[in-house]
Homo-oligomer: A and B are copies of this chain.
């Protein structure tokens, strides 16, 4: 089978690529071809015996979507997005990329299918940013999508498109609403949600990290490993049972910053906890206040999606996947 990953150069795209190459299969089918697309050159996969095509393009540019679809991939992972902060700062860019790019992809698939029958699986990476307060406690599968950001709006609109294109039979779409990914590998970044990862990742390797909110703040988490698992599972399950509601809230862990710190203490001791510096940031406190923090993802659980149930597991996954299995 031929797998296309759009947004292959990002953190999730790289991890998904590595997972697919390592498995060599998706579901019960061998992966014979892999197309990796992004606006920057994706990292070439190591140890893959099949055909690899790398495409550097902007999905929202004219004919780019047709270019990625021309080879008629069987499964398409659509992970490409301008992130939340950038979509809020640059209104036009956010709509052009996140809505326009996704719309162009879906149209390219539909028009490709007009040449000869074509109905790929499309796994769309959505976000809990489609939800805005006031929240239900917990948020159920049929909770209203009332986003508080342009990014969340673009994701919610794309979910609607995904459902309609799927209902019309143009492709077989599934939307995956990811929790906040923690522990994000790499270096601290400017994302408002970055501190959730920073306060674990940095102290685990003996570095300081800043905590800008109160320890009582609750949020909804999953590991990068589980996030990749969601995407793979979404690509392979029978989704007929979803009916026309094609996007699912993923399982995750509802935990407070205090829970995170307790798990850090258990994993790396008091000296690691002491590396967290409290610096309240009113801007981030305000952001976090508008984020959902607890879900009852019954449909996804029934369909076999699985996530961590404690921060100890999330930290362990990070140590195994990013630190070679042990603390330095």
Q: Find residues 147-181 in chain A having any chain B CB closer than 8 Å to their own CB.
A: 147-148, 150, 153, 156-157, 160-161, 163-164, 167-168
Within 8 A of B (CB), among A105-162: 110, 132, 142-148, 150, 153, 156-157, 160-161
Residues from chain B with a CB closer than 8 A to the CB of A132 are 244
Q: Which of A148, A160, A168 has the most CB of B within 10 A?
A: A160
- Chain B: which residue is nearest A143 at the CB level? B144
Size class of A's contact patch?
Answer: 20 to 34
Min CB distance A29 to B, Å, is 31
A192 and B289 CA atoms in complex are apart in Å by 45
In the complex, whether A287 has a CB less than 8 A from a CB of chain B is: no
Contact A150 B164 (CB under 8 A): yes
Interface residues of A in 227-265 (CB under 8 A from B): 244-245
- Point out the residues of chain B lying under 8 angstroms from A147, CB to CB: 160, 163-164
Min CB gap A118→B, angstroms: 16
Are B91 and A146 closer than 8 Å at their CB atoms?
Answer: no
Chain B hits for A142, CB < 8 A = 143-144, 146
Q: Which residues of B contact A245 (CB under 8 A)?
A: 144, 146
**Contact partners of A163 in chain B: CB under 8 A:** 146-147, 153
Would you call A144 and B146 a contact (CB within 8 A)? no
Q: Is the CB of A160 within 8 A of B156?
A: yes
Contacts of A157 in B (CB 8 A): 157, 160-161
Residues of B near A110 (CB, < 8 A) are: 91
Interface contact B160-A153, CB-CB below 8 Å: yes
CA distance A145 to B146 in the complex (A): 10
Instruction: Give the shortest distance, in Å, between A292 (CB) and chain B (any CB).
Output: 14
Are B150 and A168 interface neighbours, CB within 8 A? yes
Q: How far is the CA of A142 from the CA of B147 in the complex (A)?
A: 13
Interface residue from B91, B148, B160, B164 paired with A244 (Cβ < 8 Å): B148
Kindly provide the distance from the CB of A214 to the nearest chain B CB, expressed in whole angstroms. 24
Expressed in whole angstroms, the Cα–Cα distance for A148 and B157 within the complex equals: 15
Tell me the smallest distance from the CB of A147 to a CB of chain B, in Å.
7
Interface contact B144-A153, CB-CB below 8 Å: no
Q: Which residues of B contact A244 (CB under 8 A)?
A: 132, 146, 148
Inter-chain CA distance A161–B156, complex, in Å, is 10
How many angstroms from the CA of A142 to the CA of B145 in the assembled complex?
A: 9
A143 to B160, CA, bound (A): 15
Contact indicator A153/B164 (Cβ below 8 Å):
yes
- The CA-CA distance from A156 to B143 in the complex, in Å, is 15
8 Å CB contact of A167 from B148, B161, B167: B148
Distance from A263 Cβ to chain B, minimum over Cβ atoms (Å): 34
11 A-B pairs (CB sep. < 8 Å): A142-B144, A143-B144, A144-B245, A145-B145, A146-B163, A146-B245, A147-B164, A150-B164, A150-B168, A153-B164, A157-B160
Q: Which 8 A-B pairs have the closest CB atoms?
A: A153-B164, A142-B144, A157-B157, A153-B160, A146-B245, A157-B160, A156-B160, A150-B164
